[in-house]
Amino acid sequence: MGTPATEPSEPLFRGYAGRLLVTVSLGWTLLQGGRLVLSPLLPTISADLGLSHAQAGFAFTVLWGLYAVLQYPSGRLSDQLSRKTLLVAGLSLAAVGFVLLGVAGSYAWFLVGAAVAGTGVGLYPTPVRAFLSDLFVERRGQAFGLHTAAGDLGGLLAAGLATLVLAVATWRWAFLPVVLALAVVTLAVHRWSREPYELRRVDLAVRETGRRLLGAGGFRGLLVAYMLYSMVWQSTSAFLPTFLLVGKGFSPAVANAGFGVYFLVGAVVKPAAGGLADRVPRGLLAASLLTLAAVTMAVVLVVRSPLLVGLGVVVFAAGLMAFPPVMQAFLMDAFPTASMGGDLGGMRSMYVAVGALGPTLVGLVADATSFTVGFALLVGCLAVSTVLVLVVVR
């Protein structure tokens, strides 16, 4: 399953492959923007709907949990059907979920919107990475870096959109521009992709994929490492603005700016990290990035100066956000070509599902103690993840 790869000499953004790289990456920007805009809006949403930190964290767990569950089946389906089928379905369903979030009048309906949005977004990322792997072989790390950076632009979009909407309207209007833009991207993928739509029964081969991923010690170690990383990413993506607002006492504008900077740094470092991963040992680079993130988050927890906290968030984001393109290129090299979509999806289902527990855990700890204690747990997750990666790649 797949489309012809680009020639190594062809510029990355030229031709059929380049046009689709830009299009599907824009789709990822919008999906991330629609999902992540919940974070800077969270204090306002919580006040409007009467949510505790634990309830808000559980809503993120629902969103991320369903996203996680669908990583494997979406990857397997994209291997057996077509990437295009899954991409268009994911974009369309996510748009419906964002509409439901925007009109939710109670916590129950808010959870329904989160579930539908999580399902739609969950159908997209594994097929799109497999799609890019079909298109780019020699420069797979670079393509992954550029694509994953597009997701961080979604975080930047979310911060700006939330700040603008809260200044002129209610939080509910934040989803409208995302839904309209998603409709345009969905139409572009429909028209430009040369793949057909395919709908038929598919054997998910769960047992065979599980044996490949869990039968090798290296894959098991990397899976646990990625689970811990995912808990950190999902928790900081959910609660960083609230941590800066409540835990550090900054103003809402500063908290939202910090959230935007977090993703702006990711958009800058991911292409660079992906390109570097094509030239240096990927495993050691991944471990170095995790170490950088752990050390700087520990510093952020103890300093009070806005300047030092801001610098710490920048360096922390650089380490944390540069990790995915490096590790995902490492994994795609290791997976069999015929099943790499399903294999990556299977691993993503497991590590994102466990990671989805992170926001609920941090929310519960914050309700019981403080956000500082909750984020200190994340530092420990990064430290253990670093050790596991080093053990595998030594």
Burial of residue 13 (CB within 10 Å: 0-12, 13-18, 19+) is: exposed
Structure tokens at 224: 């646990």
CA atoms within 13 A on the CB side of 210: 6
Quote the Cα angle for 117-260-93, to 5°. 15
Number of other residues whose CB lies within 10 A of the CB of residue 23: 18
Q: What's the pTM value of the predicted model, to 2 decimals? A: 0.70
Is 15-393 assigned to CATH 1.20.1250.20? yes
| Predicted local confidence at residue 294, as pLDDT | 95
Residue 243 · residue 261 · CB < 8 Å: no
pLDDT at 169: 85
Give a three-class secondary structure readout of the chain: CCCCCCCCCCCCCCHHHHHHHHHHHHHHHHHHHHHHCHHHHHHHHHHHHCCCHHHHHHHHHHHHHHHHHCHHHHHHHHHHCCHHHHHHHHHHHHHHHHHHHHHCCCHHHHHHHHHHHHHHHHCCHHHHHHHHHHHCCCCHHHHHHHHHHHHHHHHHHHHHHHHHHHHHCCHHHHHHHHHHHHHHHHHHHHHHCCCCCCCCCCCCCHHHHHHHHHHCHHHHHHHHHHHHHHHHHHHHHHHHHHHHHHHCCCCHHHHHHHHHHHHHHHHHHHHHHHHHHCCCCHHHHHHHHHHHHHHHHHHHHHCCCHHHHHHHHHHHHHHHHHHHHHHHHHHHHHCCHHHHHHHHHHHHHHHHHHHCHHHHHHHHHHHHCCHHHHHHHHHHHHHHHHHHHHHHHC
pLDDT at 186: 93
Neighbours of 370 (CB within 10 A): 14
For the chain, state the CA radius of gyration. Answer: 20
pLDDT band (50, 70, 90) for residue 366: confident
124 vs 219, higher pLDDT: 124
Q: Is the pLDDT of residue 24 over 80?
A: yes
Could you give the C-alpha distances from 343 to 109, 129, 173, 229, in angstroms and in order?
A: 34, 12, 38, 19
- Residue 391 makes CB contacts below 8 A (sequence gap 6+) with 221
What's the average model confidence in pLDDT over 5-17? 56
Residue 196 backbone zone (phi > 0: left; psi -120 to 50: alpha; other: beta): beta
The amino acid at 93: L
pLDDT at 5 over 60: no
So what's the pLDDT on residue 149? 76
Q: pLDDT per residue over 326-361, tens digit each?
A: 887 777 666 666 666 667 777 777 887 888 888 888
**Residue 278: per-residue pLDDT:** 72
- Which pLDDT tens digit goes with each residue over 265-323? 887 888 788 778 777 777 788 889 999 999 999 999 998 888 899 899 999 999 998 88
Residues 127-161: pLDDT tens digits? 888 787 777 766 666 777 777 778 778 878 888 88
pLDDT tens for 209-263 read 666 666 655 567 788 888 999 999 989 988 888 888 888 888 888 888 888 888 8
| Domains in the chain: boundaries | 15-393
Sign of the Cα pseudo-torsion (6, 153, 157, 356, in order): positive
Position 6 scores a pLDDT of 44
pLDDT in tens, 163-220: 888 888 888 999 999 999 999 999 998 887 777 787 777 666 667 666 666 665 556 7
* Burial grade of 199 (CB within 10 A; 0-12, 13-18, 19 or more): exposed
Question: How many Å apart are CA 335 and CA 394, to the nearest integer?
Answer: 19
142: tokens are 């670079």
**CA-CA distances (angstroms) from residue 365 to 51, 53, 54, 56?**
15, 9, 9, 13
